[in-house]
Chain A
Amino acid sequence: MIFERIEIKKGVFVSVVKTDKFKTNLLTVNLLTPLSADTASLNSLLTDVLKRGTVNYPTMQSLNKKQDELYALGLGAYVQKRGEVQVITFELSAIDDTYTFDKANLLEQAVALIGELIFSPFIVDGVFLPEYVAQEKKNLIDSIKAQINNKSGYAIQRCNELMCEGEPFAVNTAGEISIVEQITPEALFAQYIKLISTAAVEVFFVGNRDSSDIAELVGKHLPFSDRKPPALETIVKTNTDEVRRFTEKMQINQCKLSIGLRIGTSLKSKNYIKFALFNELFGGSTTSKLFVNVREKKSLCYYCRPIIEGIKGVMVIASGVDAKNKDIAYEAIMEQLEDIKNGIISDTELYDAKRSLENAYREITDSPAYICTWYLSRIIAGRTDSPEEAADSVDKITKQDIIAMSKRMALDTVYSLEM
């Protein structure tokens, strides 16, 4: 897999992974800015309002009909965070021209349409249509409220928020209800203009085209200007003062226990791969200590797994347990970490964790979405190593490396959601 990255304008990069493995071509346009509570709600609402219509396709129905015509073109816009970087993503997936009935030039039409979605929104009197803004505000508020529907996801999110209280990482990318309620079409439009003219731009393409073709298409249909984007920094805390414990009540059958830790490194570090292997051995695979001991041997839970944010350098160990076993489960989980710190790692555990991690890296190359995700995170962390290179560097990691990484883990926050 060859990765090429070209700067087509100052601060505007196009990255291409050329492959004929897939029947679909994937293109994502990512606008990167510092994550902040002031703009997160605006950005989140913005992606919803932009999807409502463009100059040529002013209604959602006309836009969707155009997508149908282009062989069910996938067109999306959403927000995410990578560490303390806010990412506003526009995404298209189009079947390759080879598979169309009329061998149409689908990709160019698709890029033109995503260009229109980003650069030619439907506006009235210089701002977004007030009805669209009002409707999407209501939908967004409903979906922020609905974050409690997924209990496991909610417990992980709350643990991260509480652990990183006061740090930009605690910002909910979906938005805050009280802020969303106050947004006017004027304020939203001002944020839109600021975003497309100042944010760092990273375009990714995975599919069957040369990088020069993609750079040309992007240059033609996505008229980003030269820019000097603000620095994108993430504060990585590596130690904690005292462990904080929180309990929230909800009428649920199963207690969700989330344990938040600082991992003592981040994706920026060349040591990160050692952490990744530690994580695989600790809880990342079905032969890990958490799976084998806490789930299989002690029969305490159905799931118990670490969720990592590599750029921020935090981990939440998420599990669902019977409320009466909460303390036993907590002890059992922490005991696995202590064991690693004390060097209790068998050769088999090490060998298995290595094979599992290598395999996970190599599988990334078979999914256009995973490829884009991989390089987006890497570029934010200031690197461009490939999944294959990562896989090739796993084997030389030693038991001592893993023990050293485990000793950097700092317990920060214990959160439980229960009756």
Chain B
Amino acid sequence: MSFITKENTDIGERYYYTQHKSGLPVYVFPKKHSTAFAVLGTKYGSADTTFKTDKDDDFFTIPDGVAHFLEHKLFEDENGNDAFTRYAKYGGNANAFTSFVRTAYLFSCTGNFDENLEVLLDFVTCPYFSEKSVKKEQGIIGEEIKMYEDNPGWRVFFNMLGAMYINNPVRKDIAGTVESISEITPEILYKCYNTFYNLHNMALCVCGDVTPEQVEAVCDRVLKKAENIKIERYTPDEPPHINTERVTLELEVAQPVFSIGIKDTPANTPEEAMRRDAETEIILQLLFGRSGDFYNRHYESGLINHKFSASYEQARSYAYTEISGSCEDPDLVKKAVCEEITHRRDNFFTAEEFETAKRVVYANNLHNFDSTEDIATDFLSYVFAESDILDYPAVISGVTYEDAKNTFLSSFDINKSVLSIIFPKNKEVIKDDE
């Protein structure tokens, strides 16, 4: 089979692509590091709660938290052995994660790459779910959910999403709730597995001192040809306006923790999405970057501190800016943020400021090419977004002043901004020596 080569000479990187005969898209990114990294992902995350295939008559709706539950369960085989044990023989260091739109299984290793890859491909393609093993996992994931309930960063983030989104499933916790996971059965897991773990809906990204031929040979040994089924996802219509402007919660924190969200309209095409990423990164550097007027003015007045940060996120059905931090008066921060945005609509930055911000974003992106883990996991995000990791540097360089200004005017609408705050519950820690 032949591989297609893609190269970016500016940053001195390349990768090879082929669609394996089984149906699995395979990407190999050579890197002369000791550590090789592989990630096998499926376009299936916590937000995929209502769906059907071309063989189904009707849509299925599943309990919240199934994608993450399935991720945990896939590690266990029929005999109760887990994949960690199989990797262990070859020194592979394994993990997995679930986000709103994808589930990924990964490993890193410094030897026995082929054997480790064989384990990865094999366990992800051989599911086994039983009543007993589902029951056991409910205990472990129940504790994981409770751990996150005590995590102010996590809670303030999900409350922000809940304030922005009315119907979109991203407003719900990735792991679900103790109640929702209690409804999970082996049948539900098989239904989701058989829908989304089709090799055509997946991708393998490898980064390290490995050859495309080597990866292909392992795929040949393990993977069986998959039928290309068509998946239809139902995403409820999301109105452009927000759900609620302000949401608060009390937890054991020392100082209020906040997240400001600004809801945006998702991009229409993968190309537009990538340009939007580059433009908003530059805009956020200009508006709220460490060298900007806003950050320094309000740091010096004591309104904000070094925990203040801003980022832009987008995927299939959502897009938003998040500005977060910890301070005494989050309402005042939100007011200052909105005033800054309003002010900049008529007084956008200078061309020189824009060029510097662009250089910062370009240089920051280069750091992502120093770790095989960052490359492989980022690669997967780009693949699932139908775009290309090696195009991004040029897309950043190509952003014009006018592009940035226009995107600022359309994507930063303060009428679509929300504020989520975690207030301190009780500052006293009672010490009781037994």
Contacts and interface: CB of A to CB of B under 8 A. Distances in A.
Answer yes or no: do A and B interact.
Answer: yes
Interface string B142-172: 0110110111110000000000000000000
Interface stretch (B123-131, B343-351, B368-376, B381-389): B368-376
A356 B110 CA distance: 10
Interface string B351-368: 000001101101110110
Nearest to B326: A146
Given A145-B255, A253-B150, A356-B88, A248 B429 contact: yes
A21 B30 CA distance: 12
Contact of A320 (B146, B291, B366): B146
A296 B253 contact: no
B19 interface: no
B35 interface: yes
Interface string A38-76: 000000000000000000000111001101110110000
A360 interface: yes
A68 B359 contact: yes
Given A253-B146, A299-B136, A359 B85 contact: no
A362 B35 contact: yes
A41 to B, nearest CB: 17
A23 B370 contact: yes
B157 to A, nearest CB: 14
A23 B139 contact: no
A265 interface: no
Nearest to B255: A142
B206 to A, nearest CB: 15
A249 B146 contact: no
Interface residues of B, number: 77
Give the bracket for the number of chain A residues in contact with chain B: 35 or more
B143 A322 contact: yes
B20 to A, nearest CB: 27
Contacts of B307: 143
A168 B68 CA distance: 43
A362 B88 contact: no
B83 to A, nearest CB: 9
Contacts of A251: 251-252, 425-426
B335 interface: no
A363 B356 CA distance: 35
A247 B143 contact: no
Contacts of B108: 359, 363
Interface string B188-207: 00000000000000000000
A151 interface: yes
A301 interface: yes
A140 B370 CA distance: 32
Interface string A270-296: 000000000000000111000100011
Nearest to B112: A355
B304 to A, nearest CB: 10
B85 A287 contact: yes
A350 B76 CA distance: 21
Contacts of A149: 152-153, 252-254, 257
B149 A248 contact: no
Interface string A338-380: 0000000000100110011011101101111000000000000
Nearest to A73: B363
Interface string B106-118: 0011110000000
B35 A64 contact: no
A3 interface: no
B424 to A, nearest CB: 9
A301 B143 CA distance: 6
A95 to B, nearest CB: 5
A359 B112 CA distance: 11
B234 interface: no
A105 interface: no
B182 to A, nearest CB: 14
B363 A71 contact: yes
A177 B82 CA distance: 47
Contact of A246 (B147, B299, B434): B434
Contact of A351 (B89, B149, B326): B89
Given A302-B140, A366-B34, A366-B35, A151 B150 contact: yes
Contacts of A321: 143
B60 interface: no
Contacts of A68: 289, 291, 356-357, 359-360
- Ranked nearest first, the 7 interchain pairs of A and B with the lowest CB-CB distance are A355-B91, A352-B88, A299-B139, A145-B254, A362-B110, A64-B291, A286-B84
12 contacts: A23-B367, A69-B356, A139-B306, A142-B255, A146-B326, A251-B426, A254-B150, A299-B137, A320-B147, A321-B143, A355-B89, A355-B91
Interface of A: 21-24, 59-61, 64-65, 67-69, 71-72, 93, 95, 98-99, 101, 135, 138-139, 142-143, 145-152, 245-254, 285-287, 291, 295-296, 299-303, 320-322, 348, 351-352, 355-356, 358-360, 362-363, 365-368
Interface of B: 11-12, 32-35, 82, 84-85, 87-94, 108-111, 136-137, 139-141, 143-144, 146-147, 149-153, 251-255, 257, 289-293, 295-296, 299-300, 302, 305-307, 326, 356-357, 359-360, 362-364, 366-367, 369-372, 425-427, 429-434
